[in-house]
Amino acid sequence: MATHAISIGDAEYQEVRSHRLLGFLFFLISDTIIFSSFIFSYLYDRSASAVWPPLGIERPGLYLAAVNSIVLFGSGVTMHLAMEAWRHANRSRFAGFMIATIVLGVGFLSGQAYEYTHLHDTWWGSVFGASFFTLTGLHGFHVFIGVIFLITVLLQTRRGVYDQSRYFGLTAATLYWHFVDVIWVALFFLFYVY
């Protein structure tokens, strides 16, 4: 992909870029559907139950989740600043904000791991727990993939794969990271607040 992108002309690059962008957007839409399906299941269980969360289950702690959310949204801000730096051709500032984003992403995952290990075992036996673990687990997996994605594109910029006019891999990583952020807003609201 990388060598190919450099060897072709500008017009063909623009065409290839537009294909990849559209394909990536369709991928994000179908990914949204996967999350929506689980969210539907959660809301279905919720509407079928007289008390929510079900008897014997307590909501997970809001405090840790709030801190974790700030970490994740902060990584969205640093991601945005990294892209701004890239557009202004400031490579060192770009690398700094990318590393900050990666660190914040890993911080979020650590917070989630801490939360999982401190929840009660009986959770696995309830519909609340089933939806909670599946949805936040799926989201955590997305964050994990996102961190790998960010590390990969950062290393690629070091190797000179992208230049000022051709950086679709970077754009895709940014879109993906913001997408994962937005999904978290819905999950936070559902599990900790609503």
138 vs 102: CA distance, rounded Å: 19
Is residue 3 a contact point for another protein (CB under 8 A)?
Answer: no
State the minimum distance, in angstroms, from the CB of residue 45 to another protein. 7
128 vs 42: CA distance, rounded Å: 7
Residue 59: strand, helix, or coil: coil
- On the 0-12 / 13-18 / 19+ scale of CB atoms within 10 A, 28 is middle
Among 6, 40, 70, 88, binds another protein (CB under 8 A): 40
45 vs 160: CA distance, rounded Å: 50
Applying CB under 8 A, the span of 31-39, 108-116, 159-167, 169-177 interacting with another protein comes to 31-39
State the minimum distance, in angstroms, from the CB of residue 93 to another protein. 33
174 vs 83: CA distance, rounded Å: 8
Among 45, 115, 116, 156, binds another protein (CB under 8 A): 45
59 vs 79: CA distance, rounded Å: 31
9 vs 11: CA distance, rounded Å: 6
124 vs 96: CA distance, rounded Å: 40
Is residue 36 a contact point for another protein (CB under 8 A)?
Answer: yes
**Positions 109 through 168 that interact with another protein (CB under 8 A):** 124-127, 129-130, 133-134
Q: Measured from the CB atom, is 52 or 73 closer to another protein?
A: 52
Is residue 50 a contact point for another protein (CB under 8 A)?
Answer: no
175 vs 24: CA distance, rounded Å: 9
Chain-centre distance of CA 184, in angstroms? Answer: 8
State the minimum distance, in angstroms, from the CB of residue 54 to another protein. 7
Among 2, 6, 19, 67, binds another protein (CB under 8 A): 19
Q: Measured from the CB atom, is 127 or 150 closer to another protein?
A: 127
State the minimum distance, in angstroms, from the CB of residue 105 to another protein. 23
The residues of the shown chain that bind another protein, judged by CB under 8 A, are 9, 11-12, 15, 18-19, 22-23, 26-27, 29-31, 33-34, 36-38, 40-41, 44-45, 48, 54, 124-127, 129-130, 133-134
